[in-house]
Amino acid sequence: MKRALITGVTGQDGAYLSKFLLDKGYKVFGMYRRTANPNFWKLQTLNCLDKIHLIPADLSDASSILEAIRISEPDEIYNLAAQSFVEASFAQPLSTADITGLGLLRILEKVRQINPNIKVYQASTSELYGDGQKGLLNEDTPFAPSSPYASAKLFAYHTAKNYRRSYGIFVCNGILFNHESPLRSLEFVTRKITNSVAKIKLGLEKELKLGNLEAKRDWGYALDYIECMWLMLQQDEPDDYVIATGETHSVKEFAQEAFNVLGLNWEEYVKVDSKFIRPEDVMYLQGDYSKAKNKLGWEPKVKFKELVKMMVDEDYKKWQDCLAGKQFPWDAPYYVSDLNIISRTKRA
Ligand code: NAP
Ligand code: G4F
């Protein structure tokens, strides 16, 4: 039986990957960081919390990473843990660099020392490209990070390549473009929109405040992208791959489509609030996944409209169930509306 250690197991991708690997017969170990309140609703939703083995550890704490690797004795490590919210990286640049950047270095050092045969997947990102790009972006497009988050991920990207060349460690960068799902956290724009659309339809909210409506993203479905992480580690040689849909849409188009799903006109509800506009933003992302298609045999299955509908339908159903008194693991009722958060202001 193969053994996998997933860092960031409580996140969107960590939950889907846990289920994917359990279904493949893996023994799954999930590294989670200690929090004052429980944070397992995504794993519970997918019915796999009681099937994985949880190890408390933190990417900023090298000794806890050592323990996690010793306990799990993995064949494969999937490094999904990060401070993953770009906007927060402007407010917390140092901890973002520590976790999102140095975190991988701490893992690779332990792998090098304990068992250099462990294969490692690194969650790289399309944010590496930064602002000002045009056309389809691929593995050869130069990177120009536009946030502390992207700079930290660029450090990790090069660290992975360096450990591959210097020590022969099997480590792959998955340059994943934005991927979403009903398990996406509420601070990201897609789920923020779909959750609000559901609440507005049910009379629980009156408006939706957003920032930059013109930014374009290549949005795919998280579950489609999980398979790729695994495929990369099943190859004979480690390599880096772009994973995307090849389509791009603006935040405005996402909002328009999401309100459409429930028969609402987005223009009546969406307001722009400058507090959600970032000091620097990436205006355009569109990925070329030909290398993954040719070498891994991978293609995305879910495209834009289907993704938006899936997310709106799920949030709408859950709010209806919640109002009917049903109880289930879910984040939305406990979310502090970002309208109440005053620390986020546009920087000059
Ligand atoms: P996510 O939902 O934000 O999950 C991030 C995970 O990292 C959570 O489990 C979080 O734990 C954990 N974490 C944060 N700080 C940690 C620390 N100091 N020590 C240990 N764990 C820590 O992110 P995601 O969307 O699943 O993305 C997975 C990875 O892919 C991330 O590295 C992200 O940067 C990258 N990525 C995501 C996308 C995307 O569109 N989703 C695209 C490209 C790359 P808590 O639950 O306790 O916060
Ligand atoms: O949903 P977002 O916060 O995602 P972003 O910044 O693209 O980052 C996500 O994808 C990356 C891959 O490219 C990952 F590496 C990263 O971990 C994360 O998963 O914002 C998308 C766009 C931005 O241009 C933002 O300025 O939406 C714009 N936006 C407009 N109004 C907003 C809002 N974003 C958020 N979060 N909230 C708003 O109200």
Span 190-211, pLDDT tens digits: 999 999 999 999 999 999 999 9
Instruction: Give the pLDDT score at 313.
Output: 98
Contact 224, 302 (CB under 8 A): yes
Catalytic residue among 127, 180, 257, 314: 127
The token duo for 321 is 């169930």
Q: What is the pLDDT of residues 60-105, one digit of tens each?
A: 999 999 999 999 999 999 999 999 999 999 999 999 999 999 999 9
pTM: 0.98
Q: Which atom of ligand 2 is nearest to the CA of 285?
A: 13
Which residues form the domain of 102? 3-179+219-243
- CATH number reported for the structural domain that contains residue 234 in this entry: 3.40.50.720
CA angle 89–92–93, rounded 5-degree value: 65
18 pLDDT above the threshold of 80: yes
Contact 107, 100 (CB under 8 A): no
Instruction: Give the pLDDT score at 200.
Output: 98
Same domain, 143 and 194: no
SS (H, E, C) 327-346: CCCCCHHHCCCHHHCCCCCC
Contact 149, 84 (CB under 8 A): yes
CA-based end-to-end distance of the chain: 54
pLDDT bracket for residue 342 (50, 70, 90): low
The mean pLDDT value of the chain amounts to 96
Residue linked to tokens 């400058």: 274
At 291, give phi and psi (nearest 5°): -65, -45
Q: Which atom of ligand 1 is nearest to the CA of 35?
A: 47
Instruction: Give the pLDDT score at 96.
Output: 98
What is the rounded distance in angstroms from the CA atom of residue 188 to the CA atom of residue 286? Answer: 18
Q: Measured in whole angstroms, how far is the alpha carbon of residue 229 from the centre of its chain?
A: 12
- CATH number reported for the structural domain that contains residue 316 in this entry: 3.90.25.10
338 pLDDT above the threshold of 80: no
Domain count, the chain: 2
Distances (CA, A) of 87 to 81, 92, 191: 17, 9, 15
Average pLDDT over residues 228-249: 98
Average pLDDT over residues 205-221: 97
Tell me which ligand sits closest to the C-alpha of residue 225.
1
Instruction: Give the pLDDT score at 38.
Output: 85
Average pLDDT over residues 30-43: 94
CA of 85 to the centre of ligand 1 (A): 8
Same domain, 53 and 149: yes
Same domain, 166 and 191: no
Same domain, 110 and 143: yes
Contact 5, 77 (CB under 8 A): yes
Instruction: Give the pLDDT score at 336.
Output: 77
Same domain, 90 and 233: yes
**Annotated catalytic residue 139:** no
Distances (CA, A) of 10 to 38, 52, 81, 202, 257: 10, 12, 9, 29, 29
The token duo for 193 is 């929109």
325 pLDDT above the threshold of 50: yes
Q: Provide residues with CB under 6 Å of ligand 2.
A: 84, 86-87, 125-127, 177-178, 187-190, 192, 210-212, 215, 217, 251, 276, 278, 281, 285
Residue 347 lies in a domain: no
Closest of 313, 309, 144 to residue 219, by C-alpha: 309
Residue 80 lies in a domain: yes
Tell me which ligand sits closest to the C-alpha of residue 251.
2
Instruction: Give the pLDDT score at 348.
Output: 47
Q: Which of 124, 147, 176, 188 to mutate to test the pocket of ligand 2 (most atoms within 8 A of CB)?
A: 188
Instruction: Give the pLDDT score at 334.
Output: 86
